[in-house]
Amino acid sequence: MAQERSLSHDDMVGMLDWYRAAGVDIAVGEEPVDRFAQRPPMRATAVAAPVVMGDPREAAPAERVAAPAPALGGDPAEARALAASAETLEQLQAILGAYDGCGLKLRATQLVFADGNPEADIMLIGEAPGAEEDRQGKPFVGKSGQLLDRMLGAIGLDRTKVYIANTVPWRPPGNRTPTPEEMALCLPFLHRQVELVAPKVVMTLGGPAMQTVFSTTNGIIKMRGKWSQVAIGRHEVEAMPTLHPAYLLRNPAAKQQAWRDLLSLRMRIEALGLV
């Protein structure tokens, strides 16, 4: 039988360092939970008439054992086919919830799909959920989300008038930037989400979201505040990048530039008769 050894202080510090490097930076319970045993990995397949998937935890024990291993390093073509099969936002959310192709899902607590009004004409696109978003399952609910709410309020908007999503719907471990592979797997789902919401105006938040949506390697400081017509998936829309609220929290002086962008957004939506 394995001998239990009590850990030294150095062992424990080493273990915590390892956890942090692996992206484990919050404790959600007293006891560890083997989530792979709890929920068998299920690979979503293109569905002719997508419906809300059943809870795989309801599978019989024998089926659980037989479930296939999670597929890491998924296939972008499969992601595109799955995303294209969604005819409603609810279907898209269900398909994403069942999709195991992107490794980000394995370390995240839950899918962070969207918040706000799916009927809105204005869509905001951020980068990726952080710790609080991962806990609550909604985008922009942490500190930067609170600032975002104040920014929207300053131009007469709130979450009933906008729809909010991220370029990737799972929190990257330790809040790192999503890798190009992860982005490529999530992008078809973002494209479909934009097509289904069909906003008249899009504002991206921060450099990575701007680079994804505008397909550019330019920096945010150069691009912010400029309107252009972009195709997001098959949806053509006017879009403008602005600074990320998390950046504004770290660099309060930049709020001046963000304020100009917000005023520009306000003028644009007034000109389009959206408010």
Residue number with the shortest CB distance to ligand URA? 126
Taking residues 139 to 158 in sequence order and writing x for each that binds ligand URA by CB under 6 A, - otherwise, the string is xx---xx-------------
Which stretch, 44-52, 88-96, 127-135, 229-237, contacts ligand URA (CB under 6 A)?
127-135
Q: Indicate the residue among 50 and 213 with the shorter CB distance to ligand URA.
A: 213
In the list 85, 91, 166, 242, the residue contacting ligand URA (rule: CB under 6 A) is 166
265: its two tokens: 């957004």
In the list 126, 169, 178, 207, the residue contacting ligand URA (rule: CB under 6 A) is 126
In the list 97, 101, 116, 129, the residue contacting ligand URA (rule: CB under 6 A) is 129
In the list 97, 116, 130, 172, the residue contacting ligand URA (rule: CB under 6 A) is 130
Compute the distance between CA of residue 48 and CA of residue 45 in angstroms, rounded to an integer. 10
With contact defined as beta carbons under 8 Å apart, do 111 and 93 qualify? yes
Compute the distance between CA of residue 170 and CA of residue 60 in angstroms, rounded to an integer. 28
The distance of closest approach from Cβ of residue 191 to ligand URA in the complex, given in angstroms and rounded to an integer, is 18
Residues sharing a CB contact under 8 Å with residue 177, sequence separation 6 or more, in sequence order: 127, 128, 208
In the list 83, 94, 102, 128, the residue contacting ligand URA (rule: CB under 6 A) is 128
Region of residue 94 (left: phi > 0; alpha: psi -120 to 50; beta: else): alpha
Compute the distance between CA of residue 119 and CA of residue 191 in angstroms, rounded to an integer. 16
Compute the distance between CA of residue 15 and CA of residue 199 in angstroms, rounded to an integer. 46
Compute the distance between CA of residue 188 and CA of residue 26 in angstroms, rounded to an integer. 30
Q: Indicate the residue among 151 and 205 with the shorter CB distance to ligand URA.
A: 205
Taking residues 190 to 219 in sequence order and writing x for each that binds ligand URA by CB under 6 A, - otherwise, the string is ---------------x--------------
